[in-house]
Every structure is written in C-alpha cells, then in structure tokens.
Amino acid sequence: MKKLLTAVTVAVLAVSAGAAQAKDWKQIRIGVDASYAPFESKSADGKLVGFDIDLGNEICKRVHAKCVWVENDFDGMIPGLKAKKFDGVLSSMTVTPEREKEIAFSKPLFETPTALVAKKGSGLTPTAESLKGKSVGVEQGTTQEKYAKDNWAAKGVNVVAYQNQDQVYQDLISGRLDAALQDKVQAEIGFLKQARGAQFQQAGDEIQSGAAAMGLRKDDADLKALVDKAIDGMMKDGTYKKIEKKYFDFDVAPKS
C-alpha cells in the first residue's frame, strides 16, 4: 500500500508540475529596436510602425494574444530574451548558426541582402582593399557587424559599432564615418530615399545575407509552434503579401 501511495503521490506531483509550467500565451512581449525603418521605427506621434511591427501584430492576432512591444538596443536582444525581459524578438534578426546555439527561431519571415552606403562619388566598394584606412559604421550585434569584423577589421578597416542604426547615420552624415554597412532595403528606404540621405548612395554590389525570423527561447516550444502556424497561415491566405505591399514594391518573402 505504501508503494502504491508513493506512486500516486509522484504522479500527482508530476501532473501539478506540468500544469505549473504550462504557459497560457494570452500576452506576448516582443523585443524591438525601433531604429531600422521600414522594418521598425517610430512615427511622428511616437507610435511603433513598420513591416516587422505589422507582421508581429498579425502573428499575435492569430495566436489570440495581446502584443506588447518592448524597445531594446539590438545587441541586448538575445540576453534580454534569455532573461525573460520579453518572449520573442522581431527586429530584422537574421538566422545564423551562432544565434541558433543560443535561441530558437520561427519559420523565416523575409530575406534581404546587405549593402554598403557611402557619399556619392566616393568610389568605395564593400571590400577590404577599398575600405583600408576608412571607418565603417555598423549596428552592434548585427550580422553586418560580424561580417565587417570578420572580413575587414584585420585588414586595416576601422569598424565602428553603434547602439542603434540612427547613430550610425548621424556619424555618416557628419563625416565621422566614411561608410555604413546595413540591410540593403533598410538603407534604401530608411536612409537613401530620405532627405538626410540625399548625398549618399549604395557603394558597390550587395552582399548576400540569410533570412530573418522571430527569435524565441528554446524552452518555449509551444510558443514556436503557435508562431509557426500563424506564419504558415499568413503566407497561405495572402495576408503576408498584403502587408508586404504596404512597404515594398518588390518581393522580400523568404526564398526557401
């Protein structure tokens, strides 16, 4: 009888523990760095706007959860996610093997290349030879920072990292930087087509990067399943295309 009672007690405790760990996703907190238009930025009235914002709100709608956006510098996104400051990251985060060691990712949301931006007539190209002795600005924690440091820093290029993309552009405009490396679409729409970017252009060819997705904690497999299902639904019923057309006149959907 004692053994039976022990077995029953263990079973009850196991069920209770499982119930305690189960998460009711009625609210999803999403980390975002609002300095990367047209993906994420702030309107004149301080409202968060952009492609990622619309995608995130649509995902939350399909999960039947309230979206709570939490602003954070990009280089603190993964630490903040792991520390449960937010439940996901939706901020133009490219999936990389290094990041996959630390966090999980949803299904891909979009895929855009990287580009170098410099003053018109500079003659610069995105190569170590061309940029030797020059200062190139990047946003901290981005794949562009990693690319520049891995490929250029040891060859005489001064790679300067900033907390957000707006700071990169401020120093590019002021002349403290010779060039900036960032997402090509972000550079075109968020800078080059704006008044502040009138004296600048894409310098040389684009650099291929990977797909961007929503970053998630590895233990939140239930949330990943919900988000992936929402993304599949958006892709299949045409909602993704409708959101995409608000921001781009070209296709940014993931290629695979």
Task: Give the burial string for 150-163 (b: 16+ CB within 10 Å, else e).
Answer: ebbeeeebbbbbbb
What single DSSP character describes residue 209?
-
92, 100, 216 from 23: Cα distances, Å? 26, 23, 14
Spatial CB neighbours of 204, under 8 Å, sequence gap ≥ 6? 116, 124, 125, 126, 127, 130
What pLDDT does residue 255 have?
85
What pLDDT does residue 22 have?
56
Which two structure tokens, joined as six digits, stand for 253? 């959907």
**In the beta sheet, which residues pair with residue 15?**
none
What pLDDT does residue 174 have?
98
* Element housing 80 (H / E): helix 77-82
Give the integer Cα–Cα distance in Å for 52 and 42: 12
Q: What is the pTM of this model?
A: 0.86
Kindly tell me the burial class for residue 104, based on how many C-beta atoms sit within 10 Å of its own C-beta (0-12, 13-18, 19 or more).
buried
Q: What is the mean pLDDT of each run of 10 residues along the chain (256 residues)?
A: 41 42 86 97 96 98 98 97 98 97 98 98 98 98 98 98 97 98 98 98 96 98 98 98 97 89
What pLDDT does residue 33 have?
97
